[in-house]
């Protein structure tokens, strides 16, 4: 999906999301309106550069697409190879997950009386165009996997901070946690700002 890319879709999303944050909404309003914006972005699969949609045979990839200059939010493409999954983990900031290609399964967890983690409810399956929210307020510990064992899946995540720098944790089922910072899989950002490529001078 690399021919005739429409980078203006991501540009437009970034602009609208920054404008939403400028209003300083409460979290519930932010997630509600943000879900609508992300749903519009992932409704079209013609804007993600191919180099930021590449799976790795060893582990899932988290490619940075944009980080707000004040680190209020970041946008990443999460690329799942067949059958790949995360450990149980948290985020410690709000997040929105929109499905672009394939499908993923997200299983939430909650602590029992002894502090161990137990699955909470059924796993949520995200299909293309669907959006889900996470945050410490509404539920922040989950495990995510590619719903397919034979194809790549890609989701677009928006987080309330520079997620590649946020100190968070992965968990064992007994509830013990190990700190980690996820970082990013790419070293360069996509150039979505060179409008001369889209509107060459005549």
| Domain at 8-186, CATH class | mainly beta
Question: What does the chain look like in DSSP terms, one character per residue?
Answer: --TT--THHHHHHHHHHHHHHHT---HHHHHHHHHHHHHHHHT--S-S-GGGS---SSS-EEEEEEE-TTSS-EEEEEEE-TT-BPPEE--SS-EEEEEEES-EEEEEEEE-TTS-EEE-SSPEEE-TT-EEEEBTTTB--EEEEES-SSS-EEEEEEESS-GGG--EEEE-TTS-EEEE----S-SS------GGGTS---
Q: Quote the pLDDT of residue 4.
A: 81
pLDDT less than 50: residues of the chain: 1-2
Q: What is the pLDDT of residue 200?
A: 59
What Rg value do the Cα atoms of the chain yield, rounded?
Answer: 17
**200 vs 202: CA distance, rounded Å:** 6
Give me the pLDDT at residue 13, please.
98
**pLDDT value of position 150:** 97
Question: What is the reported pLDDT for 198?
Answer: 75
pTM for the whole structure = 0.94
pLDDT recorded at residue 155: 98
What pLDDT score was predicted for residue 2?
A: 46
């Amino acid at each position: 999906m690399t021919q005739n890319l429409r980078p203006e879709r991501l540009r437009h999303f970034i602009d609208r999301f920054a404008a939403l944050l400028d209003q300083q909404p409460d979290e519930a309003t932010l997630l509600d309106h943000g879900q609508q914006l992300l749903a519009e972005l992932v409704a079209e699969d013609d804007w993600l550069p191919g180099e930021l949609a590449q799976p790795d045979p060893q582990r899932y990839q988290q490619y940075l697409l944009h980080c707000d200059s004040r680190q209020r939010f970041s946008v990443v493409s999460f690329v799942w190879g067949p059958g790949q999954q995360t450990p149980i983990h948290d985020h410690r900031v709000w997040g929105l997950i929109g499905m672009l290609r394939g499908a993923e399964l997200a299983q939430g967890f909650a602590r029992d009386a002894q502090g161990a983690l137990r699955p909470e409810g059924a796993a949520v399956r995200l299909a293309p165009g669907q959006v889900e929210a996470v945050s410490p307020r509404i539920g922040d510990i989950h495990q995510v996997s590619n719903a397919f064992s034979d194809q790549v899946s890609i989701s677009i995540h928006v987080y309330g901070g520079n997620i590649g720098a946020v100190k968070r944790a992965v968990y064992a089922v007994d509830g013990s946690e190990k700190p980690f910072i996820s970082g990013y899989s790419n070293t360069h950002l996509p150039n979505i700002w060179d409008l001369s490529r889209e509107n060459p001078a005549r």
